[in-house]
A and B are shown apart, each in its own frame.
Chain A
């Protein structure tokens, strides 16, 4: 009977865990729709900035610190995007693993990486291990707002724009999880600064100039076709001022984009983890219920054997 009681209480506790997992899974799947909306809402802005940067690249030769490496400063910044809460399977741990290997690679190359962390889990991990962290941000990793993106990009830009002698950094890497689909999320390392995407654009735009009939289709569909790549923009108040204003915004919107895709990945990986946990809890309950039934049946059988045995003994006495 003791083991039956124990099994019953295990079934009850697994049952309530299952309810929690199931609820978490539901919450995560409802958040995914929201994460998608947020990402869609942010897209027009990102596109606008991207177009503007393209225009700038096409019409001016950019000579801004953001696009070129400043000397041989060995200090580099690494930003890891982790989650605030657990229950997301391997989400944070794979980010941390990738970050560690990136830090090791950078160390090997003779660089001095400085660590920036977003997300409570990552911060706790590094704080517990007494690692030096250059900057941390917490809160809202599953729905990052513009404020967070602004805070992060301001801090990182400040570190980047500082001269090497005052502790500035020469490169910025971001470790984040790319959202491929609901089941697949991939950890990626992106070199955000100095801007390398602009160079790629320059080639695209240059190709478009060389061949105005074909090349443009690749740039931006119908819009691109209306837009001769040679259109002369007037920059107000001046090219430099526009660059100064737009490039940091470009970085910020890229960072925001990373935050959003990381948030979508976090939610998706939480949903997957909770789905697996729910399934596991259910199969555990099934298994325990079978054990409980078997042990109840065993005790009934034993009782019957005892009754029949003693009845037989009594009958034998009467004869």
Chain B
């Protein structure tokens, strides 16, 4: 597990930072359908629609986050999610 490549994830809402940390993968609700992002993805700038954003941490823990209306940018192994509103950050361990 420790060998897994990770990326830096930063989720920010318009009025507060929501979450940031290392992650092994993320699924974002892109405007044309969900989009999975793994470390070292090519640089991308995507509009996202309302939906659920999932981030998987190195330990297998999942973060679930309700987001609406924003965009993500991936660059230099850093994923930035900027959204108007984000709430219900849920956390689930791999056992659940």
Contact = CB atoms under 8 A, between A and B. Distances in A.
A149 B85 CA distance: 13
Interface string A214-231: 000000000100110001
Interface in A1-59: 38, 41-42, 44-45, 48-49, 51-52, 55-56
Contact of B16 (A41, A149, A232, A233): A41
Interface stretch (A116-124, A127-135, A161-169, A240-248): A240-248
A45 B12 contact: yes
A237 interface: yes
Contacts of A150: 84
Contacts of B44: 233-236
Given A145-B15, A150-B84, A236-B47, A227 B71 contact: no
A249 B70 contact: yes
A146 B84 contact: yes
A146 B15 CA distance: 7
Contacts of B80: 48, 51-52
Given A52-B73, A245-B47, A245-B71, A236 B15 contact: no
A316 B57 CA distance: 108
Contacts of B46: 235-237, 242
Interface residues of B, number: 27
Nearest to A246: B71
A256 interface: yes
B15 A227 contact: no
A234 B37 CA distance: 13
Given A51-B80, A55-B45, A236-B47, A45 B75 contact: no
Contacts, number: 94
A61 to B, nearest CB: 16
A245 B69 CA distance: 9
Nearest to A252: B14
Interface in B10-48: 10, 12-17, 30-32, 35, 42-47
16 contacts: A42-B16, A44-B10, A48-B10, A51-B73, A52-B71, A56-B45, A146-B84, A146-B85, A227-B75, A231-B75, A231-B76, A233-B44, A233-B73, A236-B31, A242-B46, A249-B84
Interface of A: 38, 41-42, 44-45, 48-49, 51-52, 55-56, 145-146, 149-150, 223, 226-227, 231-237, 241-242, 245-246, 249, 252-253, 256
Given A231-B43, A236-B44, A236-B47, 4 more contacts: A55-B43, A55-B73, A223-B76, A233-B43
